[in-house]
Structure 1
Amino acid sequence: MTFNFSRILLLFFAIALLGSCGGRKTKTPPPEIVTPNGTKIYNPKTGRYEFPVEATGKVDTVAWTDASPSANDPIQSDPSEYIKDEPTTTTSSGSGVFGTYNVAIMIPFNAHKVNTLEGGVHSSSLSALGFYEGAKIALEKLSEEGVNMNVTVMDTKRSEREVATLLNRSEVQNAHLIIGPYGSNSLKKVAAFAKEKKHPLISPVNTSSKITTQNPFYIQANPSLKSHCEAILQHALRHHAASQIVLVCRNKPAEVKRLKYFQDANKVYAGSDSTPPLKEYIIDATLALEFGELDLKSYIQKGGETVFIVPSYSNETFISNFMRELDLAKGREKVVVYGMPRWMEFERISYDYYEQLNLHVSTANFVDKDNVKIQNFTRYFYEKYGALPTVNAFKGYDMTLYFGRQLQKYGTDFINKSDSEFEQELTTGFELIKNIAPEDVAKERLDKVNFIENKYVNILKFKDYRFQKAD
């Protein structure tokens, strides 16, 4: 496996932000709060649960070197890290299977923002650095499995102009697989390029369903909001009747529109367009923010469980008020609350509410710290980089490993095999489904693929003061 570079960036993760050699050990007072992104500990200085930011032992700092004035040179690692150099032949058998696969990774390292005086890493670089460090470990494993790849890693600098320039590079023109970029506008440019050149393109971060159409070469690795809503309702209906479910949101256009995902999914799961709609409680937006009293008692069923689904993404004030009011209103009755992924990052809401209200959330990635494979990966990552892996590192590892194996198994034709099997990597499940417009499905025009989406979503429950996989 070979890597092409002229600008050298030693990407041993963002350790500069964690302190240099000999960091002190972080004392973790009880209780710990375990989230899919790792364990949060209580910080007495801030009065909040936070992720640890220090590590024990000798830690390397990030070294950045500009070896070329060219703005378009890709990032390259030391080829000697890998067992052997692989041939660069790209001969196809005619079915999309090649001896060696050219892979272009286009993500925003933002090397131009590095603090060259202090040697620090800009905060906007951390996501890409984590992704790349995980990807590097996956590339090592793929090399051991005999997957031959020429991998070129390029810095998009979060710039549409930079991305347009990178598309002219031979490494992208001749790629059998492209991973990235992140931003919507840049991604639209690369998606159009991939469609024209018939190169499979992996969108590792973006969840928008409006990037491209009629493009079977575009693969959205992150489930959309619609997929999260469908997964939440499917799980709720598996354990409760539709009559027990209440959809809750603020009276804001974006949130009210979100309820349609649930109502449409309910019709599909019921197998009838005439099925009664799910109950809705739409709260005045001003009342929701002013800690006013909410009318929740009238929705709570006596003698059974009531399920409240709250598809609000990020307004912690509203969600905190809702949880407090629901805890008061329920009395001795049982309730279950379903929320969105970002709820796991909230810091001002008491975790007692999460526990007492049987909180469930959806998430694309779940870092199960009890999983032996994840423990082994974490240990290896720490030994290699001197830091604990972030969720972006797990994403980089999972995506690179999964799609690398798909290339080895099916060649570039893997896009036509995408909906035939499910595979679970360390933190991410892959259930690739072709997105076809309903009118095309009705007319059996199944070749009219808009794009391919990974529809797999985890449902977690908060129990014993930690998030864990729900039944």
Structure 2
Amino acid sequence: MISVQNHLLQLSGNKWLWLFLLTVGLGACSPKVQPPAPVVKTETEKKPEIIKDTTKPVAQPPAKTSVVSLILPFALNNLNTGYSSAGLAQANIAIDFYQGFKLGLDSLTSYGYNYELHVFDSQGQTSQSHALAYNSQIRVSDLIVGPIFPEDMKAFASVLPSQRNPIVSPLSAAEPSTIKNQNLITVTPPLQYHAVASAKYATGKIGAKRIFILNSGYSADKEYTNYFKRAVDSLTRKGVQFTELTVSKGNLTAILPKLSATGQNVFFIPATNQQFLLVTLKALDDLSLKYPVTVFGHPNWEKFTFLKADQLQRLKTHITNSDRINYKAVATVTFMKAYRKKYQAEPSEYAIKGFDQAMYFGKLLAGNTTVRMEIEKTGYTGIHNKFKFKWLPGLGWVNTSVDVLTYANYELKRVE
């Protein structure tokens, strides 16, 4: 079974937040402490949609109830004054993540697992996140999920340095070192793990002995470049030479004497600036007519519609990724159907992330041991994410699962 204070009405595609206020009481999240907010009931109460988990439980699930607290930025305090566009976007993320997470827990109840789900409103404010860390209900939860923004998580986790139960950072890719909590679980791989994946592929599969780093001159590039160089040095014991060039107006003349006419010339480009990329990739494209070129780009490149797939394919471009969806997979199709039926809406990436995390952490909670004991030993391949957690002393667990993709037939394909 799954117990929640109140249930969401089925929302239309526009996620009308006024209905949400009527159906979810987020203030106290405990009917024992304070009566729940009024609920607008539908004419027919629908049963939770169930998505069968194809993996069979190893043992009979224990008859226990796991308590989960979700801390999300619904910002219901803005209902009277009105939402800004940014505030409404945050609220929609919160609704989508909640609905996906709830659907995941509902699905696990088919095995007799029991959950008590409490939902709290962080209001998208650091001060409110800090205050919620003192809430006694949250403190005794078996699992805390959220807050979702880096500054909010810092404020929340700073109050709970000795908290024994895990605190999940569900969406942020912020480095665990910026939060510094030994019980933190960082679900989205931080940028350094993308650099490590690129470094492994460039030095291992491609066998690069020299790597050309093309910088834009913007300070934002430096972090990714430093992660990449450290990863390459660590993997090769500093056996790879770096040639760095700050490129202006696509001028690559300075590196021509060092290029090979026969072997692969590996280029690492940490930039995300549109104008720089358009000019520099065009220059590399021209260069590739004479020299073999392989490019490793920033993970954000996958989202850039201004980049040309045919050009990226000619440059043998590689991009790292940690959350790619196979829409043809049976599990994905099943989830999409169940979500549409329950909520009359298309699931966003946040709904899918919520579902994956509920399925993973829900199963860990239902076991005979603690999440702390099982998380490093238990991997997971979900619809949107893969989980492979690594323990960092004093910083908690971080998901290190990153794929390397390259262009084939004008679309990205996983190569590792």
TM-score range, shorter chain: 0.7 to 0.9
Does the Cα contact within 8 Å between 1:72 and 1:165 map onto a contact in 2? Answer: no
- What residue is the counterpart of 2:376 in the other structure? 419
| 130-139 or 168-177: bigger deviation | 168-177
**Aligned-pair distance for 1:359?**
1.9
Does the Cα contact within 8 Å between 1:102 and 1:171 map onto a contact in 2? Answer: no
**Aligned-pair distance for 1:115?**
8.5
The code of the aligned residue for 1:310 comes to I
- Which residue, 377, 387, 393 being the options, matches 1:430? 387
Say whether 1:259 aligns with 2:214. no
Q: How big is each residue's C-alpha offset from its partner over 1:400-449, in whole Å with a ceiling of 9 and x where there is no partner?
A: 111111112254x322333224221222111110113xxxxxxxxxxxx3
Change (3 A) 1:329 1:431: same
- What residue is the counterpart of 1:211 in the other structure? 178
- What residue is the counterpart of 2:11 in the other structure? 12
**Aligned-pair distance for 1:195?**
3.0
Does the Cα contact within 8 Å between 2:67 and 2:143 map onto a contact in 1? Answer: yes
Q: How big is each residue's C-alpha offset from its partner over 1:295-315, in whole Å with a ceiling of 9 and x where there is no partner?
A: 354454212222212222x31
**Aligned-pair distance for 1:394?**
1.6
Say whether 1:2 aligns with 2:3. yes
SS state at 2:102 partner: helix
Percentage of pairs with the same residue: 21
Does the Cα contact within 8 Å between 1:10 and 1:63 map onto a contact in 2? Answer: no
SS state at 1:368 partner: coil
Change (3 A) 1:193 1:299: same
Does the Cα contact within 8 Å between 2:208 and 2:266 map onto a contact in 1? Answer: no
Say whether 1:337 aligns with 2:295. yes
Cα distance in 1 between the residues matched to 2:170 and 2:258:
40
Change (3 A) 1:255 1:378: same
**Aligned-pair distance for 1:461?**
1.7
Cα distance in 2 between the residues matched to 1:420 and 1:69:
36
- What residue is the counterpart of 2:396 in the other structure? 451
Say whether 1:303 aligns with 2:262. yes
Change (3 A) 1:283 1:239: same
SS state at 1:64 partner: helix
Does the Cα contact within 8 Å between 1:216 and 1:450 map onto a contact in 2? Answer: yes
- What residue is the counterpart of 1:373 in the other structure? 331
SS state at 2:151 partner: helix
Q: How does 1:183-332 map to 2 (within 5 A)?
A: 183-209=149-175, 210-213=177-180, 215-270=181-236, 272=237, 275-284=238-247, 287=248, 291-295=249-253, 297-312=256-271, 314-332=272-290
- Which residue, 282, 300, 321 being the options, matches 1:363? 321
Q: How big is each residue's C-alpha offset from its partner over 1:144-200, in whole Å with a ceiling of 9 and x where there is no partner?
A: 122211001122111122223333434313211000002223212322344333121
Q: Which runs of 5+ in 2 are unaligned?
A: 30-35, 51-61
Does the Cα contact within 8 Å between 2:267 and 2:293 map onto a contact in 1? Answer: yes
Change (3 A) 1:278 1:116: same
**Aligned-pair distance for 1:276?**
3.3
Cα distance in 1 between the residues matched to 2:200 and 2:244:
20
Cα distance in 1 between the residues matched to 2:310 and 2:95:
35
Q: Which runs of 5+ in 1 are unaligned?
A: 18-60, 85-96, 437-448
Cα distance in 2 between the residues matched to 1:387 and 1:360:
34
Cα distance in 2 between the residues matched to 1:379 and 1:461:
30
SS state at 1:389 partner: coil
**Aligned-pair distance for 1:224?**
1.0
Cα distance in 1 between the residues matched to 2:219 and 2:185:
29
Cα distance in 2 between the residues matched to 1:148 and 1:364:
30
**Aligned-pair distance for 1:324?**
0.9
**Aligned-pair distance for 1:130?**
2.1
**Aligned-pair distance for 1:264?**
2.0
Cα distance in 1 between the residues matched to 2:119 and 2:90:
17
Q: How big is each residue's C-alpha offset from its partner over 1:212-237, in whole Å with a ceiling of 9 and x where there is no partner?
A: 33x43111111111111001111222
Cα distance in 2 between the residues matched to 1:418 and 1:377:
24
User: Alignment length, in residue pairs?
Assistant: 389
Cα distance in 2 between the residues matched to 1:282 and 1:361:
21
**Aligned-pair distance for 1:345?**
1.6
- What residue is the counterpart of 2:412 in the other structure? 467
Say whether 1:100 aligns with 2:65. yes
Cα distance in 1 between the residues matched to 2:135 and 2:406:
46
**Aligned-pair distance for 1:114?**
5.0
Cα distance in 1 between the residues matched to 2:26 and 2:348:
29
Does the Cα contact within 8 Å between 2:10 and 2:344 map onto a contact in 1? Answer: no
Cα distance in 2 between the residues matched to 1:228 and 1:251:
21
The code of the aligned residue for 1:211 comes to T
SS state at 2:71 partner: strand
- What residue is the counterpart of 2:27 in the other structure? 72
**Aligned-pair distance for 1:257?**
4.2
Report the TM-score, using the length of structure 1 for normalisation. 0.74
SS state at 2:158 partner: helix
**Aligned-pair distance for 1:117?**
9.2
Cα distance in 2 between the residues matched to 1:162 and 1:143:
32
Say whether 1:403 aligns with 2:361. yes
SS state at 1:367 partner: coil
Q: How big is each residue's C-alpha offset from its partner over 1:322-342, in whole Å with a ceiling of 9 and x where there is no partner?
A: 211100111143322222222
Quote the RMSD (CA, aligned, Å): 3.2
Does the Cα contact within 8 Å between 1:398 and 1:426 map onto a contact in 2? Answer: yes
Q: How big is each residue's C-alpha offset from its partner over 1:260-294, in whole Å with a ceiling of 9 and x where there is no partner?
A: 32222123222x3xx3343232315xx2xxx3433
Does the Cα contact within 8 Å between 2:299 and 2:320 map onto a contact in 1? Answer: yes
SS state at 1:216 partner: coil
**Aligned-pair distance for 1:80?**
6.4
SS state at 1:251 partner: coil
SS state at 2:141 partner: coil
